[in-house]
Amino acid sequence: MTDHSIPPRRPLTLRDVSEAASVSEMTVSRVLRGRGDVASATRERVLAAAKRLGYVPNRIAGGLASNQVNLVAVVIPSLRNMVFPDVLSGIQEGLADTPLQPVVGVTDYRPEREEEVLFEMLSWRPTGVIVAGLEHTAAARAMLRAAGVPVVEVMDADGEPIDAMVGLSHRRAGRLTAEAIVERGHSRIAFAGTKMPLDHRARKRFEGFTETLARHGLEIADQEFYEGGSALAKGREMTEALLSRTPDLDMIYYSNDMIGAGGLLWCLEQGMDVGRQIGLAGFNGVDLLDGLPRRLATMDAGRTEIGRRAAALVLERRAGVPTEDRVVLEPAFRPGDTLRPRERSPQ
C-alpha cells in the first residue's frame, strides 16, 4: 500500500472540450445543452470529444463559491441484495459527524446504466464518489478520472483502482472456501449462483474456487445459474434442480448467502442430513443467517467496514492528507453447521 498526499485535480472545462473538438466554447455549450443550430457532424465531434475526455456539465449555480455540494455520490448495483444496504450503513456512519450526505444511484449491474448514473450524479459536482467494483466502461472510467474529486471503488481488490479502493480479494475468498470444503472431505461439488458476465465479483470468486479445486484434482460436478435478485426462492429452485439432476452431490457452493439460505431450507424440508449428507456454503456473512435452523457456512465480506473505510478515504483525500490508495480486508471463513467436521489426520 502506498501513502501519498493527494494533489488537487482540476475539473475539465468547456475549453478542454472545445480544444479537443476544434470548435468554440459556445458551440460546445449549445451541443451539450441540446440547443442551437449545430451541424450534425460538429455535434457528433463535440459529443465524442466530451465522452472521450469524461467531461460532465456543471449543473450547480455559478455563484456557489466552492463549486461543489456537500454530497457523496454512492453508486451500487442493487438495493435488493442485502449486501449493499450494509455498505451504505457503513458509509453513513463514516460521514455522520460531517456536513456530507450520501446520495445513492443504482445500476442493476448494467454498465450502460452506470454511465448514465455517473453522468447525472457528477453533473451536480459531489464532494466525492464511492462506486462498487473495479470494472467500468471506458466512458465511465473517463468520467471518474476527470471528476476532480476523491473516487473510491469498493467491494473488490482484484485489480487497479482509478484513485483508491477498499475491498477484499474475491479470488482469495473463493480459494479459502474451496480449501475449507476440500479439507472436510467434500468431493462431489456443485456451484449455484448468479450469471456472472456482469457480476464480476462472483466471477472472481468462482475462478478462485475452481482453480483451488483443480489443484486438489477436483472439478465442478454440476452448476446452476440464474438472473435476478438474491432471493430465497431462487436458492430453493436451484438446489432442487441440482440434486434432481446430480443426486450424488455432497456439496453446493452458492454465490451468496440468500440463495444459500433458500437451499438450506429446501434440504431440511427434504429431511436431508445437512453437514454430512450434503454440505452447503455461501458468501457474505449476512446477519439473516443467525435466524436459520442451521448456521450456513459463509465468508464474512466486511461490508459495513468497507463502507466506513471508504467514507474515511473520501474525507482524508478531500482534506489532502496522506492516505492509502489500496485498503485490502482479509476475508474470514465461518464454517457454521453445514459442512462436515474437519477430517483428522491419522495419529
CATH number, domain of 20, equals 1.10.260.40
Domain of 227?
171-301
108-120 burial, b at 16+ Cβ within 10 Å, e below that, comes to ebeeeebbebbbe
Last residue of a domain, one of 17, 39, 55: 55
263: domain CATH number is 3.40.50.2300
What 176-180 contacts at long range (C-beta under 8 Å, 24+ apart), as own/partner pairs, is 176/299, 176/331, 176/333, 177/205, 177/209, 177/253, 177/281, 177/283, 177/299, 177/333, 178/208, 178/209, 178/210, 178/212, 178/213, 178/216, 178/253, 179/212, 180/281, 180/297, 180/333, 180/335, 180/339
Q: Do the domain assignments include residue 217?
A: yes
Residue 91: inside a domain: no
What are the grid coordinates assigned to 37, written together? 443550430
Last residue of a domain, one of 55, 77, 93: 55
- What amino acid is encoded at 173 in this protein? A
Side chain identity at 262, as an amino acid letter? G
Residue 232 has pLDDT above 90, yes or no: no
Kindly state whether residue 208 falls inside one of the protein's structural domains. yes
Report yes or no on 119 lying in a domain: no
Mean pLDDT of 137-145: 95
The answer to whether residue 345 sits within a structural domain is: no
The whole model's pTM is what?
0.80
pLDDT (tens digit per residue) in 26-63: 888 778 777 677 888 888 888 888 888 888 777 665 44
CA end-to-end distance (rounded Å), the chain = 43
* Percentage of the chain exceeding pLDDT 90: 63
Confidence (pLDDT) at 4: 53
How many domains does the chain fold into?
2
- Would you give the DSSP letter of residue 115? H
Domain boundary among 301, 320, 341: 301
CA atoms of 193 and 190, how far apart (whole Å): 10
What pLDDT score was predicted for residue 69?
A: 84
Among the residue ranges 120-124, 176-180, 274-278, 342-346, the one predicted with the least confidence is: 342-346
Which of 21-25, 44-48, 258-262, 318-322 ranks highest by mean pLDDT?
A: 258-262
pLDDT value at position 230? 58
Between 228 and 167, the more confident residue is 167
| Whole-number pLDDT of residue 324 | 86
Whether residue 64 lies inside any domain: the answer is no
User: What percentage of the chain reaches a pLDDT higher than 70?
Assistant: 91
In a domain, 87, yes or no: no
Q: What is the pLDDT of residue 80?
A: 78
Q: Is residue 128 part of a domain?
A: no
